[in-house]
Structures are given as structure tokens and as C-alpha cells.
Structure 1
Amino acid sequence: MLQFSKHLYKRGLKITLILTNFIARVSHSLPPFPILTISDGYDHGGFASAESAQTYLDSFRRFGSQSLRELLRHLSSSASPADCLIYDSFLPWVLDVANELQIATAVFFTQSCAVANIYYHVHKGLIDLPLPNREIEIPGLPLMKPAEFPSFIYQLGTYPAYYDLLVNQYANVDKADWILCNTFEELEREVLEYLKKIWPSIRAIGPSIPSGYLDGRIEGDREYGMSILDLDGDVSRKWLEGRRKGSVVYVSFGSIGKVAAEQMEEMAGCLKSIDRQFLWVVRPSEVVKLPKNFMVETEEKGLVVSWCQQLEVLTHEAIGCFVTHCGWNSTLEGVSLGVPMVTVPGWTDQTTNAKFITDVWKVGLKALANSDGVVKREVLLQCIEEVMVGERGSEIRQNATIWKTMTQNTFESGGSFNGVVDEFLAKMVR
């Protein structure tokens, strides 16, 4: 959303970012836009202080609706009233508030169109649940096995609050003036063509990656512009300097999901035995899952950091492979920057993203888990070696380069952003 805001700002629109009180307070860096805040009912502790996910979501809906309504009413009598409200699709109540105050709306989907299509079909009752034990056909998508669906659908009943959150995104989506998706036409052409028949106002405006890594249209745009995490960027960059081209394995399992202790142990065992250098992001909460003395025993060939500037890492010539949990942001970054991937999906949309990485775009190899859901070190080792130097990996590396070029061409030709920005300018400027 920040990246889209930068493009709107560059074209002359005034941007205000609305955050919860807690997120605004704990963020380490904030974007160059005015910040306003609303309440989620947990102003001092945020989500972590709520009794449960469902309790938090109920509170956010109640307190958020009230405080957002008050904020927008206050803006209506100011010199800069809100003309359009762009909101995260996980918060459908925002549209109700905006419609009440007669403000234009744009819902922003931060997951892939493929995943949006699946959840839409679930919401409409067009998919039988529990999923049948066979390949399933959905318009706009390749044939998919049950285990390739988002985990909340495949493993029905897990995390019911999140299931409701994801499926209920579509309760009022057709009432929004625009439906924005963090993707681009070439990447998800078939599913976009299908969704346009359902939602004529859908627009692909991605990948939402700082333009400094793609077309350079926004000067100095090398960071997303906001973080609630401390970044060890300088440490990672300095360590990568001087490493041979394509020699380093980069591993990151994302910023939210917990990784099972056994999976951490298997990943550590792989990196300890592999005859390659590695950079591994391990969040502070996950460090306790590392084998004893792992960092000491591997300090000659590896570096473990609590976080890093992933874009800087992925664009470094030393990186030869990205072992990823397949979150949508990481997926877009890997595809857009041309980095071959080994997929180790965990939960939510990651399993579906992994399907597209390996079978549709063919820029990665899936590390298959055992019956306990754990990818063993031998499998990880084999996949990494294949992607980096193997014969099958040769096609993957070539495809990764092709997708990098395609992404850059999309941006250099004006990109998906500009057409949507023109629409906003036509309708929003007073």
C-alpha cells in the first residue's frame, strides 16, 4: 500500500496513512506522508495483548469503525477532506464506514489473485468443503491438489478466526469503486481475465516493490518506507561483499509464522552439512529452536541475522538461491528480481504460492515434506544443489531471468501503476 501511495503522491495526489495507535507507536521508520491513527481497542499492546485472534478482530471492528468514522468526519471539515479511502481487504468494515460518509473506496488485496479466486469460490459456496481427495478445477486456475490450496481451506477447522477473516473479505467487495491487486497482468493473466468477468473494477497494480529495484522512476526509492522490525541490513550487506557470484544460499521463513522446532533443526542440519555459504534470517523468537552451538560451529561459512533488508540481499550478485516460506511479498520479490527459489511453504496462502512458483512460473523447486509435514535435511540439500547447479535447475535459473526481464519491462513501459493512477486522477482530483 505504501508503494502504491508513492506513485499516487508522485502524480500529485495528497496521501494520508491511517494506522492503529499501537502500530504507529512501535514502527521504527515511517513514510514521508502524514500519519493519522485509529484504535483497535488494544492501543498499548496491539494484537499480542488480545486474548485470542477472534477477540482482537471483534475489537478492531468495533473500535476501528467508531474511530475511523470520527477521523473521516473531522477531515471532511478540514482543508483536505478524504476523496478516496484505500483499505486492506481484510477489513471489510472500512467500506461500510466510507459508504456511510459517501467517500469513494478502493479495496486492496495483498495476496495473489489466485488465492483471492479460491477464497471467493469458498465464500460463494462453489467449492465443496471439506475438499474432496482429488484434483480440483477452478476457473482461471490450473488443476490443484487439495494440499495446494491455502491451509485454512485444506486443513479445514484450523484457526477459525482467520478462516472467517479471509472468506469474509468478499462480503461487500463488489460495492467498492476499485479492486486493487498486488500483482501484474503477465504473472496472473488467466485468473485476472476470469476475475474481470466477476469484478469489472479489478486492477493489477503490482508488484508493489520499491521502484529503485525495477524502473527507478521514483528517485531514491530503495525501501518500503516503514518497519516494525529492527533491520540488520548493514551487517548482511557487508557480509555478502566479496562472496563469489551465485554462491550464497539465502534462507528466510518470513516475519510472522512460527516454524516448527523440528523443521528448524532440519534446516540447520542442511546448512551445517552443505558445502556452500549461507545467510539465514532467524527471528529472535525462533533462535531458541536452533541446535546448540550452531552459530559457533558454522561461523566460517554462514551468517545468522535477526532480520535484514531482503530486497538488498536478493539483488546482491552473491545470492544463488532463495529458500523461502512463499509468503506473497517474498514470492513477488523473488520472481521480480530473478532469484531461483526452493519452496518450503508453511501455512495460509504459502502452499498455493509454492504451486505457482514451481508449476506455473517454473522458477523454483518444491522441497517435499514427509508425512509429519517436515522437510528433511537431505531433501533440502538435494533441492538447493539442483536449483543452484543442477541440470533441472538450469531451466529454473533461465526462467527466473526471463521473469525478471518481464517484470522490468512491465514497469519501464509505464507499468500497471500508471493506468490506475490516471483513473484516480480523473475521478479524485477536485
Structure 2
Amino acid sequence: MAKAHILVLPFPAQGHVTPLMELSHLLVDHGFEVTFVNTEVDHALVVAALRASGGEAALLGGGIHLASIPDGLADDEDRKDLSKLIDAFTRHMPGHLERLIVNMEAAGRPRAKWIVGDVSMGWSFEVAKKFGIRVVAFWPAATAGLAIVHKIPKLIEDGLIDDKGWPRRQETFQLAPGMPPLHTSQLTWNNAGPPEGQPIIFNLVVSQNKQLKDHAEMSVGNSFHDAEDGAFKLLPNILPIGPLFADREFRKPVGNFLPEDKRCIKWLDAQPDRSVVYVAFGSMAIFDPRQFEELAEGLKLTGRPFLWVVRPDFTAGLSKAWLHEFHQRVAGRGMVVSWCSQQQVLAHRAVACFVSHCGWNSTMEGVRNGVPFLCWPYFVDQYLDRNYVTGVWRTGLAVSPNADGIVTKEELRSKVEQVVGDAEIRERARLFRGAARRCVSEGGSSYENFKKLVNLLSE
């Protein structure tokens, strides 16, 4: 008998699409039919990137159907403004999702039995219930982040934050032993953009607790027990099934928004073992021109080979002439690409360290490959993830901005040398890689939790 048809719905950002695409491949491997629902804008990016790198057939042949619905914003509006994006999609997407479900059935597709939805898209759980569709919630970030959300009433009661989510005291707190400490100025909902948008984001975060409790039959996350033991003691109902990884051959597309530059793998092949500094700041970070140039000059100063991902929108007014001249100055030693297969890069023997914004998806990919980190968080939950790396796991260091908020080229060069030269960091990263792999191997905790998920979806 054919297994259930599952709708998979990520929050519209690369770091949410990738782990849910990994999960979708694993579900297809277990016989399920998956329809992956992006926003129209993200869908167009994914399809264009797949076509550019010839991966479209691999995805469609792999049994994942791609679908899309509008996010409620006009074409020219800024989707990096999270409060604007969240305000639009919470108002407009429920109706569009209802129409998609009705239209798919009218077109002869099997009726969806389950939705595996991003916790940040909790409105979709209510839509699912209208159609008798059962709900599994997916948390793509650190479980510690969800634990903090869960404890918002306690943080208010203890006087750390007010009932609008703003800090009442400037101090560092720790929810439980083994969890990363976090400063009240670095709470996720207060670090997602301009302060005027904060109420929209805080409301979304607060609503997550209720939607999980009211609608989800199971909640799973892209983490593993050994990484977040303290957080799982606080939230025993979140089952870790990570680090999610669908394909050892790197043939299954993970829904990248930009085409991968495949030349970088050949370039890495030509570098010595553990020599390359890999630098990538995800899909959302934007650097001002001064910080961008300090980063570029810092990479040059290290004297090491480096692979640097520079998205077309990574810095305002990026001068093509400057970039071309920089390419020439570092030719042979540095490579700059607009996007790459990050999993393939981090799995490569030549990579010595990962200069990262510490998005959770990137963090899990680095951990799974035993790569030491140099942490450079940009916003939202990335400060929490940095504190895991530097304070709990001790598998990396963090950059320290100067009084003007700039990470100087000398700071970057110095910290890269410290990370690459620290045998203890390297050894802890190696041991952590082993722990991650044990969790997803047969009999491991993530492996067993994934089996529970498959059994539930098979009901």
C-alpha cells in the first residue's frame, strides 16, 4: 500500500528550507510522497538554481513535488525585513495554503494526510486541522532556543524581560546546566531587525508554545542528544533526529536559493589537508562596505588558502571592479564564489576551519564534519549558537569587534591562527563529530527517534 502524502512547509529562509529538504529526502526513501511548499519567491529561486546546476531532474526524480504559495508581499518588497515578511505571511498564507490543498486534490493528487511544518509557520497547523490533516512540528534551530521561548513566562516573572519581550536587566542568564548562557541583549526576538518590528516577531514566538501544544502530535528537531543534553532535559517532548543529512554522495539537492559554483570542489582537491579557511555567512547577513573590506584584507593577511562565499547582495554597492582587483591579488591562494555546496565543502579534507555566522544549519553541518569554528554571529539565534560552540562544546572561538563594532583584519588574522593552531579545539571537534555520527547511526538516539517519526507517519 502506498504510504501517506505529506506536505512539508518551511519558514521562508535558506536555513529552514535546507534541513526540511534533507528530511523530505529521508521520508521519500521510506516510501512517503512529499509535496514541498515554498513561498513563490523562494520556489522560483530554488527552481532557477536547480536548472543552473542541472539538479532539477535529481529532485523531481527523487519523488519530491515542488509547490508554492504567495507570501503576501509585493515582488519588490524586502524579504530580509523579517517583521514585514512575518506580518505578511501570517495574514495571507493561510488562505493560500487552503486553496493549494483543495487544488491538489482536484487535480487528482492523493489527499495529504500529514503536514510536517516549521514551528515558525504554526498558523499552518490550524489550516491542517480544518482539513483533518495531522500535524508534526519541525524545529530547525537549537533546542535551547525553543527552551528559552518556552520559558518566556518565567523570564517575565523573574524580571529579566518585560511582557513585550524587552530586557529589564542587562545580564547573562542560564536556563539549565549544560545550556549556553545568554545575555538579555541577545534574545532572538530582539535581534531580528529594527526595533519597531520587534512586536510582530515577539508575538510569533509567543504563539509557538500554544500552537505546538494544541496541534502537534509529535515535535522533532535538527539536533542531537549529545549536543544539547541540558535543553532536552527541559524539553523532553522535542525528539532530536539530527544532524539531518540525506545523501553521502551529495547528489540530492537541498533547495539552495543560488546556483552552486562547482569549481570550488576541484580547487579544494588541489589544497593540502586542513589548510583552507572556509568563510560563509549564510543567506541573510549583510555587511557594510567597511566591514566587508576588513574581512577581505583579513583573509589576505592570514597567508592561508581560503574559500569565501560572497552572495551578490552580501554588501551594499559591492564594486565589481574592487572584487575583480581582489580576485587578482589573491589568485591561486583564495577563491571567491557566490554560493557552493556547503555540505560538500565542510566534508572536504582540505578545510581547516569554518568562519561562520553560526546559523544552526551551518553549525550542525560543521559539527557533523568535525570542523573547528571561528564564530561571527549576525542576528537572531546566532549568538546562542556561538555560545554553544565557544562555551559548551569548546570547538571554536569567536571574533571580538572593536569599539566601533568592526572586526578588524588583524583580529580576524589572529583568531584564525588561534583556531587552526589549537590542537585541543581540533580534538574536541573530532570527538564531537564522532558523537554526532553515532546518534544518526543504527541504534543511535536520533536514528531511533526518526524511526518513531516514520512509524507515526505510517499510521
- TM-score category, normalised to shorter length: 0.7 to 0.9
Q: Is residue 229 from structure 1 mapped to residue 266 from structure 2 by the alignment? A: no
1:170 counterpart (168, 190, 209)? 209
How many angstroms apart in 1 are the aligned matches of 2:338 and 2:84?
30
Deviation track 1:86-128 (CA, whole Å, cap 9, x = no partner) reads 1111111101111222221011111111111223323664542
Alpha-carbon shift at residue 328 of structure 1 (Å):
1.0
Alpha-carbon shift at residue 421 of structure 1 (Å):
4.2
Give secondary structure in 2 for the equivalent of 1:62: helix
Q: Which residue of 1 aligns with 2:300?
A: 272
1:243 counterpart (262, 268, 271)? 271
Q: Is residue 394 from structure 1 mapped to residue 423 from structure 2 by the alignment? A: yes
Q: Which residue of 2 aligns with 1:58?
A: 87
The one-letter code sitting in structure 2 at the alignment partner of 1:178 is M
How many angstroms apart in 2 are the aligned matches of 1:411 and 1:306?
31
How many angstroms apart in 1 are the aligned matches of 2:149 and 2:191?
8
Contact 2:224/2:241 (8 A) holds in 1? yes
How many angstroms apart in 2 are the aligned matches of 1:179 and 1:159?
28
Deviation track 1:30-67 (CA, whole Å, cap 9, x = no partner) reads 5331223323234x8386479x6545433323332112
Q: Which residue of 2 aligns with 1:36?
A: 67
Q: Which residue of 2 aligns with 1:215?
A: none
2:227 counterpart (187, 199, 217)? 187
Contact 2:441/2:447 (8 A) holds in 1? no
Contact 2:43/2:68 (8 A) holds in 1? yes
Alpha-carbon shift at residue 307 of structure 1 (Å):
1.1
Alpha-carbon shift at residue 74 of structure 1 (Å):
4.8
Q: How does 1:100-179 map to 2 (within 5 A)?
A: 100-122=130-152, 125-126=156-157, 127-128=160-161, 129-139=166-176, 141-147=179-185, 149-150=187-188, 152=190, 157=195, 159-160=197-198, 161-175=200-214, 176-179=216-219
Contact 1:40/1:46 (8 A) holds in 2? no
2:401 counterpart (350, 369, 388)? 369
Contact 2:83/2:193 (8 A) holds in 1? no
How many angstroms apart in 2 are the aligned matches of 1:46 and 1:194?
42
Q: Which moved more, 1:417-426 or 1:361-370?
A: 417-426
| Highest RCO, 1 vs 2 (Cα 8 Å, sep ≥ 6) | 2
Alpha-carbon shift at residue 168 of structure 1 (Å):
3.4
How many angstroms apart in 2 are the aligned matches of 1:310 and 1:273?
24
Q: Which residue of 2 aligns with 1:96?
A: 126
Q: Is residue 5 from structure 1 mapped to residue 5 from structure 2 by the alignment? A: no
How many angstroms apart in 1 are the aligned matches of 2:115 and 2:101?
10
Q: Which moved more, 1:347-356 or 1:266-275?
A: 266-275
Q: Is residue 283 from structure 1 mapped to residue 311 from structure 2 by the alignment? A: yes
Gapped runs of 5+ residues in structure 2? 1-19, 51-55
Q: TM-score, normalised by structure 1?
A: 0.87
Contact 2:285/2:314 (8 A) holds in 1? no
Q: Which residue of 1 aligns with 2:14?
A: none
What root-mean-square deviation, in Å, do the aligned CA atoms of Structure 1 and Structure 2 show? Answer: 2.7
Alpha-carbon shift at residue 342 of structure 1 (Å):
0.7
Give secondary structure in 1 for the equivalent of 2:38: strand
Alpha-carbon shift at residue 399 of structure 1 (Å):
0.5
Alpha-carbon shift at residue 192 of structure 1 (Å):
0.9
The one-letter code sitting in structure 1 at the alignment partner of 2:397 is L
How many angstroms apart in 2 are the aligned matches of 1:425 and 1:245?
39
Q: TM-score, normalised by structure 2?
A: 0.82
